[in-house]
Chains A and B, each alone.
Chain A
Amino acid sequence: MREESFEIGGLKLKSRLFTGTGKYADDSVIPGVCEASGSQVITVALRRVDLESDTGNVMDFIPKDMQLLPNTSGARTAEEAVRIAKLARAMGCGNWIKIEVISDNKYLLPDGYETAKATEILAEDGFVVLPYVNADLYIARSLVDAGAAAVMPLGAPIGTNRGLKTKEMVRILIDEIDLPIIVDAGIGRPSEACEAMEMGADAVLVNTAIATASDPIMMARAFGQAVEAGRAAYLSGPGAKHSMAQASSPLTGFLSEG
């Protein structure tokens, strides 16, 4: 297969699978997950330190060569997202930021308007901005105008493992938006990640499906392979679909002829 890479914020990436660090029963599997998945980009969140009982530090488990993608989870407005992004950058781990602006606690659906506002402010301030949004053409266009480095439409609500429910809308973004499209949230199975890649998505972000598998390292490997398979299938140009059978074997030279 031809050597292939894609670029976000000036960084060339070989792997099109982004991973996360949430929900692991034991964070010590994270290095194994990173290696098995082949992923080069990993998300983290920013939270208050518990001053009474100091818990472990997730950073101890993230391989140093991973590109860190802090998220702004917890933000309900653009202003809060900007505040979190600036704090995350001050940690000294680069200038990438995944914008998450959510005030709906039932479905955790992102607020497109506030996300676009935050994207504009942070892109102007030199961040590499990856906004998490609904799979909506107009929101995506506003993110292009706001200076986003990619658009991250959801496949299904966060953490649901329900798959590519927004498939038709994601397909429109892939067709119309001239930025990398990274399907983020909801992907529960490698087959769904593969499907997104077959459609022409540039990458997928998978956290819950790997972290909550009985064997996260094996599942990480499966996702890595699925993403590669889907990308290869997309590049190979799948054949046409037909409503009636199209024989694969010759329709001549049968034994019974003549």
Chain B
Amino acid sequence: MVITVNGKETEVAEGLSVLGLLESKGIAPDTVVVELNRDIVTGENFGTTMINDGDHLEVLRFVGGG
């Protein structure tokens, strides 16, 4: 299936959770916040939130800023 992550279309396997996606990209789950189709997904729900074809995800973290 094809999903959009941080503005880029990406082909991923079916039955993927948010946690599975982060792990496949080598991202430590406790360093990010995720938005799935404009709804915030918090860390404790990463494992149980499943991703579906056509979903839009934003994966964000704190960076340096003023």
Partner-B contacts on A (CB < 8 A): 20-24, 27, 43-49, 51, 54, 57-59, 68, 70-71, 73, 86-88, 90-93, 158-159, 185, 205, 207-208
One of B27, B35, B62, B66 near A51 (C-beta < 8 A): B27
Given known A-B contacts A54-B27, A92-B43, A20 and B62 have beta carbons under 8 A apart: no
Of the residues B27, B33, B43, B65, contact of A87 by C-beta under 8 Å: B33
30 CB contacts below 8 A, A to B, read A21-B64, A21-B65, A23-B64, A24-B64, A27-B64, A43-B65, A43-B66, A45-B64, A45-B65, A46-B33, A46-B61, A47-B60, A48-B6, A48-B60, A49-B6, A49-B27, A49-B59, A51-B5, A51-B8, A51-B25, A54-B27, A57-B31, A68-B62, A87-B58, A88-B62, A91-B61, A91-B62, A92-B43, A93-B62, A159-B66
B15 on the interface (CB 8 Å rule)?
A: no
Q: Are A48 and B7 in contact (CB under 8 A)?
A: yes
Minimum CB–CB distance from A157 to chain B (whole Å) comes to: 12
User: What band does the interface of chain B fall in when counting residues whose beta carbon is under 8 Å from A?
Assistant: 20 to 34
Interface string of B1-43 (1 = CB under 8 A from A): 0000111100000000000000001111001110100001011
Residue of A nearest to B62 (CB): A44
CA distance A48 to B58 in the complex (A): 7
Minimum C-beta distance from B11 to chain A (A): 13
Assembly CA distance A128 to B63 (angstroms): 20
Q: A57's closest neighbor in chain B, by CB?
A: B31
Q: What chain A residues lie within 8 Å of B31 (beta carbons)?
A: 57, 59
Which B residues are closer than 8 A to A by beta carbons? 5-8, 25-28, 31-33, 35, 40, 42-43, 58-66
Which residues in A have their C-beta under 8 angstroms from that of B66?
20-23, 43, 45, 71, 73, 158-159, 185, 205, 207-208
Q: A51-B6, A51-B25, A92-B43 are in contact. Are A71 and B62 (CB under 8 A)?
A: no
